Amino acid sequence: MSHQEKKPLVIAHRGASYDAPENTIAAYKLAWEQGADGAETDVHITADGKLICMHDDDAERTAGSEVKISETNFDELRKLEVGSFQDDQYDGEQIPTLVEVLDTVPEGKLFYIEIKSGMDAAKAVPLVKADIEKSKIDPKQIRLISFSDEAIKASKEQMPEIGAFLLIFFVHDRVNGTWSPTADEVIEKLQACDADGMDINVVYRVEQSYIDQIKAAGYSYHVWTINSPHVAKRYTKMGVDSITTDRPSFVKRAVHSC
């Protein structure tokens, strides 16, 4: 099979976050309207042990409040307004719970849950598991992602039926000009935490052999965050399994034009 025969899935990063305020119900509903194959969120634990969907560990950027998520109860966080920072038409959007976001996911669509590495993975994973069970979603629609090896390992131990991808960040050594991790290093990391695949940023233009080596070892290869049609087409031709983007309809058109 050639790389072009199977198109990568297009995953809406924090919902359709180019057009709507990230990690809000509005952004997820718009992602489904825009034809995304899946969507992604970030979860944090409130002081009273609830999982909410927000990227940062405080609410300053999206709500103008310096409160720390981990130090604030859910009811207080719920009073914050997180829509108008993007556009006045979204004034009144609140921080959603993970269950509320999962309940927007249509049948047949995927949902990526990022367990933030700053949290205690052992504490976060059972809460994610409980919220998946509380929601109406089929666990087969879920993928778990994290930069934390411990979170991925704990996820596979507690939810073995759910795919889990290790988030990886390419790092550039400015002294000798090399990029890491190598494909061998990635495979070693994935084996160590029992991951099903990797999800990596696209700052470094990898060779086809890099992707092929990881896929030949039995792992899926996912990329983030691509908003350029040109870059999306390149990675489509290289055979990646999913592309995470802020602009799902825009990027999906590029993917399917290959």
Domain of residue 134, CATH code = 3.20.20.190
pLDDT at 1: 39
- Smallest CA-to-CA distance from 105 within 38, 13, 8, 205 is with 38
> How many domains would you assign to the chain?
1
The structure tokens listed for 194 are 């029992």
Backbone angles phi, psi at 119, to 5 degrees: -90, 165
pLDDT at 205: 86
Whole-structure pTM value: 0.96
pLDDT at 122: 73
Domain with 52, as residue range(s), is: 3-255
Q: How far apart are CA 17 and CA 27, in angstroms?
A: 6
pLDDT at 3: 52
pLDDT at 119: 63
Are 57 and 70 a contacting pair, CB within 8 Å?
Answer: yes
Provide the 10 A C-beta neighbour count for residue 1.
6
pLDDT along the chain (258 residues), means of 10: 74 98 98 98 96 96 97 98 97 98 98 85 91 97 96 97 97 92 98 98 92 98 98 97 98 96
CB hemisphere CA count around 28 (13 angstroms): 27
Backbone angles phi, psi at 179, to 5 degrees: -115, 145
Q: How far apart are CA 12 and CA 34, in angstroms?
A: 9
